[in-house]
Amino acid sequence: MNQDSNTLRNTGLFDLVSRIETARSSASFLAKAAHLAPLGTDLHLTFSRWARMTIPYLADWCFIDLLDDEGRLHQVASAFHDTEERSFDTGKQVVRAQFAPLPAQLRDILEKKRTVKESPVSSGWVGDLFASVIPPNQMRSVLVVPMQAYGKTSGLVTWIITDPDRSFPDGCIKTAEELAYRMSIVRENTATYHASQEALISRDEFISIASHELKNPLTALKLQIQLLKRTIRNAPSDSDLLQPLKRITHTIDQSADRLSESMDRLLDMAKIRSGQLDISRHTMDLNNLIQDVAKCLQPALANSGCELKLLLMEKVIGNWDYFRLSQVVTNLIINATKYAANEPIQVRLKRVGNEAVLSVKDHGPGIPKEEQHKIFGRFEKARETRNSTGLGLGLYICQKIVQLHGGEIGVESEPGQGAQFTVKLPI
């Protein structure tokens, strides 16, 4: 057996097998580390988990320090292995004295972005830096690795061995540097994620404030339009300016309505994102709601040349929000007039078990299969026509309203055969 071992060493196969095992162990270790860093997680929690998993695989002690915007290091995690009792402390955080000011040796590592390994420890600065938690005469080996990613250095990871019978394993530097690299990526990605979330919150706050602020002048504009319409109705019928004024007033009125609708939808979107879109439930007949909406939409239906067919049951009673469901029905019918002008629109309501099932069917060009999954997203439009104005928020808001009622909304469509949107609401 000894002869076989010598033969392996002499042929280099022993070293090859050893390197393969080291590489396999390192890959398994790094794979486990990858599962500990979900996006948006708490950095202290993630780094604490990482520090613990390196002990005793890499060393007996681990310290993770992050750089702040002013170039100061702050300890965010630590872990250690008690070499005397051969036990792990997986919960206690060992707080080492803070580096203030930053020692020249650590500043050099950060600036030159280089890994430092000392075994045995001979530099006095290592003992000075960690003397508050580890007696200098117990330090056998130290490994300091800068956290680098995206051209930036974001901190340091320090591993220390105190067990006299241990040393850093073969290939540990590459493993340590790879882990430090992943730590840095997680830190930068998490910072970017939180910054993007803050930006979205700021945007939604701006949309909400802007929508509210624009409502007052828009209301004043609508009042002036109504006054102008009344003046035109009372004007002499033989005036040459009467017809041009009517057309201009009608255009202004339509534009103001579209602006008001857009602001309402932006405001609803902001409420949805902030979790503030509420529903106020009352006992109601869904038939009455549909008939009310149909009456209000008669001018729009006439302008689009669409005939609205209502196929309703006698009564479908439920506990719903009248205003919000009116938004849903209005949006579905208006969408049909935009995409299927001069074609009939069918609105059907029935009760199936404990659900109210409402469908709106048009006879337009239909929606391609590959587009149907995304039409309920924000700012999405599946079909473009000259009449398809708007922000692409209508179906997104409809879906959220229906979901707040505990229901669901979907679409069925084939190219050239129109589209049918179906809303199911629990009764």
pLDDT of residue 301: 92
- pLDDT (tens digit, 9 = 90+) per residue, 264-277? 877 787 788 777 78
**20-34, 142-156, 388-402 — most confident range:** 142-156
CB neighbour list of residue 289: distance below 8 Å, 6 or more residues apart: 322, 325, 326, 329
CATH number for the domain harbouring residue 98: 3.30.450.40
| Shared-domain flag, residues 385 and 322 | yes
- pLDDT (tens digit, 9 = 90+) per residue, 87-127? 334 444 555 656 666 777 788 888 888 888 887 777 666 76
CATH number for the domain harbouring residue 207: 1.10.287
| Shared-domain flag, residues 241 and 355 | no
Domain edge (last residue) among 175, 190, 205: 190
| Shared-domain flag, residues 110 and 202 | no
CB neighbour list of residue 51: distance below 8 Å, 6 or more residues apart: 62, 63, 64, 77, 78, 79
For residue 33, is it left (φ>0), alpha (ψ between -120 and 50) or beta? Answer: alpha
Share of the chain above pLDDT 90, in %: 28
| Shared-domain flag, residues 329 and 214 | no
Note if the pTM is more than 0.75: no
| Shared-domain flag, residues 259 and 351 | no
Cα–Cα distances in angstroms (integers) from residue 42 to residues 54, 68, 95, 190, 313, in the given order = 19, 16, 19, 9, 53
Confidence of residue 16 (pLDDT cuts 50, 70, 90): low
| Shared-domain flag, residues 242 and 288 | no
| Shared-domain flag, residues 230 and 329 | no
Residue 12 has pLDDT above 80, yes or no: no
The number of domains in the chain is 3
pLDDT of residue 200: 75
CB neighbour list of residue 21: distance below 8 Å, 6 or more residues apart: none
Domain edge (last residue) among 252, 273, 294: 273
**What is the distance of C-alpha 278 from the center of its chain?**
21
Confidence of residue 22 (pLDDT cuts 50, 70, 90): low
Q: Is 418 helix (H, G, I), strand (E, B) or coil?
A: coil
Nearest to 384 by CA among 396, 373, 397, 371: 371
| Shared-domain flag, residues 318 and 376 | yes
Written as one string, the DSSP assignment of 18-51 is: HHHHHHHHHHHHHHHHHTT--TT--HHHHHHHHH
Q: Is the peptide bond before 299 cis (omega within 30 degrees of 0)?
A: no
**What is the distance of C-alpha 343 from the center of its chain?**
40
CATH number for the domain harbouring residue 299: 3.30.565.10
| Shared-domain flag, residues 20 and 98 | yes
Nearest to 402 by CA among 287, 272, 258: 272
| Shared-domain flag, residues 109 and 239 | no
Q: Range of 232's domain?
A: 195-273
More confident residue, 76 or 361: 361
In the chain, the amino acid numbered 13 is L
Domain edge (last residue) among 164, 190, 216: 190
Share of the chain above pLDDT 70, in %: 79
Q: What is the mean pLDDT of residues 4-27?
A: 55
Please state, in angstroms and rounded to a whole number, the distance separating the CA atoms of residues 206 and 212.
10
Number of helices followed by number of strands (H, E) in the chain: 12, 13
pLDDT of residue 219: 76
| Shared-domain flag, residues 89 and 171 | yes
| Shared-domain flag, residues 200 and 175 | no
